[in-house]
Structure 1
Amino acid sequence: MTSAPSGAMPLSDEDARRQLRRAVLASTIGTTIEWYDFFLYSIVTGLVFAKLYFPESNPLVGTLQAFLIYAVGFVARPVGAAIFGHYGDRIGRKATLIVTLLLMGLATFAVGFVPAYATIGIWGAVLLTALRFIQGVGVGGEWGGSVLMSMEWARTNAHRGFVASWPQFGVPAGLFLANLAVLAMSQISGNGFLAWGWRVPFFLSIVLVAVGLYIRLNILETPLFARLLAEHRIEKAPTLEVLRRQPKDILLSAFARMAEQAPFYIYTAFVFTYGVRTLGATRDMLLMAVMAASVLEFFTIPLFGHVSDLIGRRRMYLIGSIAVGIFGFVYFAMVDTKAPALIFAAIVLSLVPHAMLYGPQAALIAESFTGRLRYSGASLGYQLASVIAGGPAPLIATALFAYYHSGYAIAVYVLACAVLSLIAAALLGDHTNQDISQEYDDARTLGNHGHPTPAA
């Protein structure tokens, strides 16, 4: 039998399996919607926002200004992690996930209504910045809850990497849908896409939110949180408590993401500016290449999550960090040929090293924190990387290319990120196949090094 939410009868094994499937489905669909919203903004930034909201700037300055607004969403993500991590550890994973979905979806829907510079001047950019911040807050609280909703329903220790990788599946799925929506609207003739077509994918997000909300309302709270609630082990200020108890794990989690996040946004957001303006590639070809890369990740993310169950989370992550550092040079060698086939192939292959990190990453980070502080700790560690990696990456890539006029300068930046992640992952604890159902600071379950002993 499996424990059920407080006040409910214990679940049978069959019911527990059913709830696991529902939790994985709800988490995956929810993160797909959230990332559709977030990536939609990323794609349109490079294609539209510089022209519509900064028309008086020269192309380079306008692009930098547009990416500054884009970066605001990343700065907001640790704020969302702190806010929703607190409530996720206080009131539960399910309720918090419903709120993050609504916050993100409504902000994205509103972006479609923001007038351009020609209508309200600089206030259009101000409104975009405010909505982007709200988007970032929503995403900041989403990831931790989605991963925990799946991982804490896992019935054995041996498959946690695979189970936790499914919410990560939402990233390529959301990326695919966002690129598909923009590609479909870009077929509008004349200036229709720039005038109004780009807004339609933002309006469509409200439909996806309704679907995600329905699914999330029909899942139960995780057994682990239910047990914490029944045992009265809920912290009054979990965010402050995890900062006090596990600051090293938070920082290491953030730096471990450098190799995963910075290159990802170079290959999926900056590529639209670099590809069109420098390589002479068409917008549609770039969109289709990123879509193909995201489809490949449908398979590689759960694959590498599974591999991490077999060889260990940390070992898989170290291998992935090395692959990322090497591939940056391969990527720019291929795209700088300006041959459409090689550009397409480079973009498709760029997300394979990413998946080597992203597959095991959810379990690697979430397992590092004790149960009653797990939502707060995992969210903070994960989302702090947004400030040092994801947000600045397109800006740094734009600035490096403007100064050096070479993609290899960006490849060196990717290598530096990979080295930082390699060091951080080597120092981060590995809890593969260990029992995470007990509190790590409970004297009865601590091993010699302050980590849980392996499950029997």
Structure 2
Amino acid sequence: MAATQSGAMPLSEEEARRQLRRAVIASTIGTTIEWYDFFLYSTVTGLVFAKLFFPESDPLVGTLQAFLIYAVGFVARPVGAAIFGHYGDRIGRKATLIVTLLLMGLATFAVGFVPTYASIGIWGAIALTALRFIQGVGVGGEWGGSVLMSMEWARTNKHRGFVASWPQFGVPAGLFVANLVVLATSQISGSAFLTWGWRVPFFLSIALVGIGLYIRLSILETPVFAKLLAERRIEKAPMREVLRRQPKDILLSALARMAEQAPFYIFTAFIFTYGVMSLGVTRDLLLTAVLAASVLEFFTIPLFGHVSDLIGRRRMYVIGAAAVGLFGFLYFFMVGTHNPGWIFAAIVLSLVPHAMMYGPQAALIAESFTGRLRYSGASMGYQLASVIAGGPAPLIATALYAYFHSGFAVAWYVFACAVISVAAAMRLGDYTNKDISREYDDVHALHDHGHAT
């Protein structure tokens, strides 16, 4: 059936296809820009922030302090999910996504202007913390809207996993661009990079925001939200309502992400500290390896999103969670050899089990929530994981290594995250190939929410 817009004639098949393409491109480019901003901060944290903003601390303590500021961005994500989830379900996906892009981009641009400890003392770290919080709020609202913008324009139920995986593509794309820019600017002599070179990537973000804004202004609202608007089924307080109606799905979504998010930030952020300080490898080797891993995910994320359409969202996700739990031990064995080739291979391969989860994850989580509460529920479930998984992961990994002096202690942490995720994912509903345009609690719905299999 052709898509419709509220108060308008149904769109032709050709126009619906065009809108789907625009929505996917807008979501993917938008998330690429947002994640460029976010990963840029994480990459620079491990390389220079400890030296510039905590110069009087022991190197390991300074790193922990820098990662504490890094973690603030994750704590802020559920705040962004609550704020923008509310507006995404109240005023629409498109308008909300424009605001999140501006918030994230301007905060990142401002990081480039923050004076260091040598100029204003501890106030530099305080300013970084505030801007990192704003970044986190923007990202907290971004993911849900991007996924829904693509997924709710999907023309059939059979390709939703593949379509929803494209905003996920923004993660490796953003990671790639961030590391590429840092790699390029780090070719500046050491003192110059520490003095001003690290600021250049943050300044560049303002140009990317302009591109993303132009693209997002050209898309229509999704058919699912337009239908809700036409039927006057908009909730007054969607976040409160989803917490009342679907609290289990929010919690399970967060726990299911433990195996995806915590290992990801260990493999791509903690490795910069661990590799340079403990393994003695060069910054450029680590940056190049993360770049190569990002390129591999360009292909594996949509691939596993597609596979989830064939074998089921939940099954694909559980396979990925089990894989990462086992791979953690192989990863730290490989990097523990101190051989640059093995270290490079370990980093590149680490994002394969990640893609096995990240490809189907968008649809798995978003499909778990009924349409009028979907932005709020999916955003909160997804972003709560930032507090329990992504944010603490580099801190926990650094602390475990400092205490045990072994990478295998970190591998056991990865394994524990995988066990939790497998258990949680097995209890999530699977809506692969089912109709999500109907409200799950509508007595006339074809598939009642409680009977998803």
Deviation at 1:4, TM superposition (A): 2.6
Deviation at 1:3, TM superposition (A): 3.1
AA of the residue aligned to 2:14: E
Alignment of 1:55-66 (within 5 A): 55-66=55-66
Deviation at 1:199, TM superposition (A): 0.3
Residue of structure 1 equivalent to 2:194: 194
Deviations 1:117-157 (A, max 9, x none): 00000000000000000000000000000000000000000
Deviation at 1:448, TM superposition (A): 6.5
- Partner secondary structure for residue 181 of structure 1: helix
Q: What's the RMSD between the two structures over aligned residues?
A: 0.9
- Separation in structure 2 between the aligned mates of residue 447 and residue 363 of structure 1, nearest angstrom: 17
Alignment of 1:126-145 (within 5 A): 126-145=126-145
Alignment of 1:106-125 (within 5 A): 106-125=106-125
- Separation in structure 2 between the aligned mates of residue 40 and residue 309 of structure 1, nearest angstrom: 33
Residue of structure 1 equivalent to 2:288: 288
Residue of structure 1 equivalent to 2:364: 364
- Separation in structure 2 between the aligned mates of residue 88 and residue 189 of structure 1, nearest angstrom: 46
Deviation at 1:8, TM superposition (A): 2.4
Instruction: Answer yes or no: is the 8 Å Cα contact 2:253–2:381 preserved in 1.
Output: yes
- Separation in structure 1 between the aligned mates of residue 2 and residue 409 of structure 2, nearest angstrom: 53
AA of the residue aligned to 1:361: Q
Residue of structure 1 equivalent to 2:388: 388
- Separation in structure 1 between the aligned mates of residue 285 and residue 402 of structure 2, nearest angstrom: 24
User: Are 2:393 and 1:410 aligned?
Assistant: no
Residue of structure 1 equivalent to 2:266: 266
Instruction: Answer yes or no: is the 8 Å Cα contact 2:77–2:384 preserved in 1.
Output: yes
Instruction: Answer yes or no: is the 8 Å Cα contact 2:147–2:164 preserved in 1.
Output: yes
AA of the residue aligned to 2:193: F
Instruction: Answer yes or no: is the 8 Å Cα contact 2:28–2:166 preserved in 1.
Output: yes
- Separation in structure 1 between the aligned mates of residue 8 and residue 446 of structure 2, nearest angstrom: 30
Residue of structure 2 equivalent to 1:209: 209
- Separation in structure 1 between the aligned mates of residue 168 and residue 122 of structure 2, nearest angstrom: 36
Instruction: Answer yes or no: is the 8 Å Cα contact 2:440–2:447 preserved in 1.
Output: no
- Partner secondary structure for residue 278 of structure 1: helix
Q: Which runs of 5+ in 1 are unaligned?
A: none
Deviation at 1:169, TM superposition (A): 0.1
Describe the shift of the 1:190–1:415 C-alpha distance in structure 2 as closer, same or farther (beyond 3 A): closer
User: Are 2:26 and 1:26 aligned?
Assistant: yes
AA of the residue aligned to 1:230: A
- Separation in structure 1 between the aligned mates of residue 105 and residue 382 of structure 2, nearest angstrom: 21
- Separation in structure 2 between the aligned mates of residue 3 and residue 347 of structure 1, nearest angstrom: 43
- Separation in structure 2 between the aligned mates of residue 34 and residue 207 of structure 1, nearest angstrom: 12
Residue of structure 2 equivalent to 1:339: 339
Residue of structure 1 equivalent to 2:163: 163
Deviation at 1:10, TM superposition (A): 1.3
- Separation in structure 1 between the aligned mates of residue 12 and residue 375 of structure 2, nearest angstrom: 26
Instruction: Answer yes or no: is the 8 Å Cα contact 1:436–1:452 preserved in 2.
Output: no
Deviations 1:335-386 (A, max 9, x none): 0000000000000000000000000000000000000000000000000000
Higher alpha-carbon deviation: 328-337 or 439-448: 439-448
- Separation in structure 2 between the aligned mates of residue 11 and residue 279 of structure 1, nearest angstrom: 58
User: Are 2:438 and 1:438 aligned?
Assistant: yes
- Separation in structure 2 between the aligned mates of residue 177 and residue 86 of structure 1, nearest angstrom: 31
AA of the residue aligned to 2:69: I
Residue of structure 1 equivalent to 2:223: 223
AA of the residue aligned to 2:335: V
AA of the residue aligned to 1:222: T
- Separation in structure 1 between the aligned mates of residue 372 and residue 133 of structure 2, nearest angstrom: 28
- Separation in structure 1 between the aligned mates of residue 390 and residue 237 of structure 2, nearest angstrom: 28
- Separation in structure 1 between the aligned mates of residue 3 and residue 154 of structure 2, nearest angstrom: 12
Residue of structure 2 equivalent to 1:176: 176
Residue of structure 2 equivalent to 1:426: 426
Instruction: Answer yes or no: is the 8 Å Cα contact 1:3–1:227 preserved in 2.
Output: no
Instruction: Answer yes or no: is the 8 Å Cα contact 2:435–2:447 preserved in 1.
Output: no
Describe the shift of the 1:195–1:449 C-alpha distance in structure 2 as closer, same or farther (beyond 3 A): closer
Describe the shift of the 1:190–1:48 C-alpha distance in structure 2 as closer, same or farther (beyond 3 A): closer
Provide the identity percentage.
Answer: 84
Deviation at 1:6, TM superposition (A): 1.5
- Separation in structure 2 between the aligned mates of residue 448 and residue 429 of structure 1, nearest angstrom: 11
Residue of structure 2 equivalent to 1:75: 75
Instruction: Answer yes or no: is the 8 Å Cα contact 2:441–2:449 preserved in 1.
Output: no
- Separation in structure 2 between the aligned mates of residue 283 and residue 22 of structure 1, nearest angstrom: 38
TM-score (norm 1): 0.98
- Separation in structure 2 between the aligned mates of residue 220 and residue 358 of structure 1, nearest angstrom: 26
Deviations 1:60-84 (A, max 9, x none): 1100000000000000000000000
Instruction: Answer yes or no: is the 8 Å Cα contact 2:5–2:11 preserved in 1.
Output: no
Residue of structure 1 equivalent to 2:349: 349
Deviation at 1:5, TM superposition (A): 2.3
- Separation in structure 1 between the aligned mates of residue 53 and residue 329 of structure 2, nearest angstrom: 34
Deviations 1:404-437 (A, max 9, x none): 0000000000000000000000000000000000
User: Are 2:94 and 1:94 aligned?
Assistant: yes
- Partner secondary structure for residue 450 of structure 1: helix
Residue of structure 2 equivalent to 1:41: 41
Deviation at 1:447, TM superposition (A): 4.3
- Partner secondary structure for residue 427 of structure 1: coil
Instruction: Answer yes or no: is the 8 Å Cα contact 2:441–2:448 preserved in 1.
Output: no
Instruction: Answer yes or no: is the 8 Å Cα contact 1:83–1:141 preserved in 2.
Output: yes
Instruction: Answer yes or no: is the 8 Å Cα contact 1:151–1:164 preserved in 2.
Output: yes
Instruction: Answer yes or no: is the 8 Å Cα contact 2:78–2:137 preserved in 1.
Output: yes
- Separation in structure 2 between the aligned mates of residue 359 and residue 449 of structure 1, nearest angstrom: 23
AA of the residue aligned to 2:9: M
AA of the residue aligned to 1:69: I
TM-score (norm 2): 0.99
Higher alpha-carbon deviation: 444-453 or 62-71: 444-453
- Separation in structure 2 between the aligned mates of residue 364 and residue 254 of structure 1, nearest angstrom: 12
Deviations 1:284-308 (A, max 9, x none): 0100000000000000000000000
